[in-house]
Amino acid sequence: MMRQYELVERVQRYKPDVNEALLNKAYVYAMQKHGHQKRASGDPYFSHPLEVAAILTEMHMDEATIAVALLHDTIEDTTATRAEIDDLFGPEMGKLVEGLTKLKKLDLVSKKAEQAENLRKLLLAISEDVRVLLVKLADRLHNMRTLDHMPEAKRLRIAEETMDIYAPLAGRMGMQGMREELEEIAFRFINPEAHRAVTARLAEIFERNKGVLTDIEKALSALFEKHAINAGVKSRQKKPWSVFRKMEAKALSFEQLSDIFGFRVVVDTVEDCYRALGAIHTTWSMVPGRFKDYISTPKQNDYRSIHTTIVGPSRQRVELQIRTREMNKIAEYGVAAHSIYKDTGGKTNGAGHAISKETNAYAWLRRTIEQLAEGDNPEDFLENTKLELFQDQVFCFTPKGMLIALPRGATPIDFAYAVHTDVGDTCVGAKVNGRIMPLMTELKNGDEVEIIRSKAQVPPAAWESVVVTGKARAAIRRATKNAIRKQYSGLGARILERAFERAGKNFTKESLKPVLHRLARKDIEDVLASVGRGELASTDVMKAVFPDYKDERVTQAAPKQREEGWSKIRNAAGMLFQIPGRAARKDKDQPRDGAVPIRGVRGDLPVRFAPEGAVPGDRIVGIVQPGTGITIYPIQSPALQAFDDQPERWIDVRWDIDERTKERFPARVSVTAINAPGSLADIAQVVASNDANIHTLSMVRTAPDFTEMLIDLEVWDLKHLNRLLSQLKDNSSVSDARRVNG
């Protein structure tokens, strides 16, 4: 176990003016508090916070962060309190330790909603002070290094959590070294057989190519010396998880991988990066399509480097990364390399420590936090955040030259939402490199994208399955919810207009404002949408606006219906809701005043049809279904008996077919066919020749001579359905055909 003076010496190597007193106090306090506690391995518990602190010294963190690492388990696992730590170490460190304590209690691998909510808390805590993330990741890394000592049942759960959340988060924060080690250990526990196979094969390949790697290093070093470039050259081998993931994603064998080995060239300045690149490309041939300049266009996590692949010495394909020493430090330590923890009096983040610049990693985190504020439900947030954590990137440009970084596989829709939510919501088309392209086009590095907009556009719900960014998915879901809410609001307004009219009152939206508190709704649109969804009865709204209002229908109509029986339901419904009975109105297609117009499922109301269907020409009634809108029944449907004593749910509706928008409607028929080969084909031929469509078909009952089929059809109207039934009856393969009502 590391001694007290050894920890101080580690920090002194990169920070000579270290506050020794703070480190000594934190070391002694944590050791005393953890006392004789033991870890699962049998080691003293204090060895864990000490190792976490040691990991942070490798990142050259300041003494305050090291002290927090020493203290991070004290509130959770000992008698220490927040007040005690505030008194001894100051409120800022107390806040950090308490924040880490809350995170320690999180069980990210749990039910999906809980996991998502806990991820929210993690990111929110990180957004307040990035040191929370650094200590948390170091804590997780040491726990992974000692995972062998955990009970077997917990190992896989912790490894999956690390692979799902912590490793990608480290990568997004630019901490590549941390990410690779977390992935490597997690891979060993998640898929031990694959890990053993890949590791053994990599060792074998390395042994076979050891001489070649040395020759390439020497050739590159000689080239840079010839051009007077001060450069360090070092070979590197892909990690087992990275190799395995690439083989799976691209269905490649080991022999097909060209980048198992690579070389890192580290120089002094940015100018030297491009001088080194020029020397390499003028000496050896570049492999087309294998050049990427992340210096001019850094990755979202602040990674900067030049990548190129050449056909190098001995005709070997050689992958090269060229970067400065500062870039190399950022590539390894990410946000930890950017943070300057001292009182500079300059620009600071929310925690009071200075930062060298507004980094891309911080920008990504800020955008993620903005999504939290936009109110996605926890499951959506978890899905969207994981999507963004895992994706590689492409870089595209607006027509004005603004750079937009997107996940690989992104579409122009993702691009539009990345520019601004309003641009995405009004997007109707896109030009990619000057050509009009489908909105599903996968964007590539360097594409220039121009979004074509229309104020009349509402983003289709189907876009959600096309886009890959969390921001686009969240915005599309919100727009879809708003559109549905608008539909319900419109339906609610019509229902209330009719209810007020029956009571001899004049309906205005403003009349609802004074009674919002009585209806427990925050605004007028909420009231209307609740009525439209069936969550709030129109009679309740009437009583709120007019306290002395009494609904005569509820007290008189239902008993009358029960007394007269179902045989008189048509007349009762017609009397109560102005639905035309056969005797009351011969012209069944004539519009009725006050009736809600129904166009079909494509109309502007949240409408669905009963299982037996309804077609234009039928007399119809609507039943409010809480949460789903209204269900349309033909007036002769026996299913309406279920709503006999709920007259407040009945809605007067009428057909209002838009001739410009052709739409088929559902109808259910029963066909008794002769049980002989070819009967089903004959029936299908009759349906097809009549321009109808079979939606579903089931065999209800089969006898030696006959088969009864239940067919859900889609037809234009009642005349179309009757013509089809007539032709089915005339067919030699059919014994009987009739419409099913309920």
Catalytic residues: 76-77
Distances (CA, A) of 80 to 85, 86, 125, 641: 7, 11, 21, 67
- Alpha carbon distance 190, 199 (integer Å): 15
For residue 56, which of 333, 362, 340 has the smallest C-alpha distance?
A: 333
User: Which residue, chain included where needed, has tokens 């809350």?
Assistant: 102
Beta carbons of 459 and 480 less than 8 angstroms apart? yes
Beta carbons of 493 and 463 less than 8 angstroms apart? no
For residue 492, which of 428, 458, 535 has the smallest C-alpha distance?
A: 535
> CB atoms < 10 A from the CB of 3, how many?
10
The set of residues, in sequence order, having a beta carbon less than 8 Å from that of 613 and lying 6+ positions away, is: 634, 665, 666, 667, 668, 712, 713
- Alpha carbon distance 106, 99 (integer Å): 11
Give 668's strand partners. Answer: 712
Beta carbons of 622 and 651 less than 8 angstroms apart? yes
Q: Count Cβ atoms within 10 A of the Cβ of residue 639 and give its class: 0-12 exposed, 13-18 middle, 19 or more buried.
A: middle
At 308, which helix (H) or strand (E)? strand 306-311
The set of residues, in sequence order, having a beta carbon less than 8 Å from that of 239 and lying 6+ positions away, is: 180, 183, 184
Distances (CA, A) of 82 to 74, 92, 94, 123: 9, 11, 6, 22
- Alpha carbon distance 741, 667 (integer Å): 9
Beta carbons of 267 and 322 less than 8 angstroms apart? yes
Contacts 24+ apart (CB under 8 A), 292-298: 292/445, 295/270, 295/323, 295/327, 297/395, 297/403, 298/360
Q: What is the CA radius of gyration of the chain?
A: 35
- Alpha carbon distance 510, 528 (integer Å): 12
Mode of pairing for the β-strands spanning 317-324 and 339-340: unpaired
Question: What letter would DSSP give residue 237?
Answer: E
- Alpha carbon distance 287, 20 (integer Å): 53
One DSSP character per residue, 358-389 reads --HHHHHHHHHHHHHHTT--HHHHHHHHHHHH
At 33, which helix (H) or strand (E)? helix 20-34
As given in the structure block, the two tokens for residue 246 are 């690439």
Q: Buried (b) or exposed (e) across 513-533, using 16+ Cβ within 10 A?
A: eebeeebebeebbbbbbbbbb
Question: What letter would DSSP give residue 165?
Answer: I
- Alpha carbon distance 587, 504 (integer Å): 27
